[in-house]
Amino acid sequence: MYNAEADEFRKQNPDCAIKSPVCTQRTQGVHHKKGRGKYLRVKEKWLPACNACNDYCEEHPEWARENGFIESRLY
């Protein structure tokens, strides 16, 4: 179920929304602003992302938080 939803999301959102310094422009996956866990299928917390931007957010969490690409999982 998730894979089909994520595939459709990528098709509907072909451009990366993060635009980090390493962005490749084209959506390759779903970035989960609150992580996967219980938020895996909460589409309001999804962003279309290229793999480079998704990795950049993981490697630069302060930058990602400041720019709204990571949200706390506590609330």
Helix, strand or coil for residue 47? strand
- Helix ranges, 1-75 (H): 2-12, 51-59, 61-66
Taking only the tens place, the pLDDT of each residue in 11-60 is 999 999 999 999 999 999 999 999 999 999 999 999 999 999 999 999 99
Whole-prediction pTM: 0.89
Question: Domain spans of the chain?
Answer: 2-66
pLDDT for res 73: 77
Q: Name 26's Cβ contacts closer than 8 Å, sequence gap at least 6.
A: 14, 15, 16, 50
List residues bridging with 47 in a β-sheet.
31
Closest CA to 69 of 43, 27, 34, 38: 34
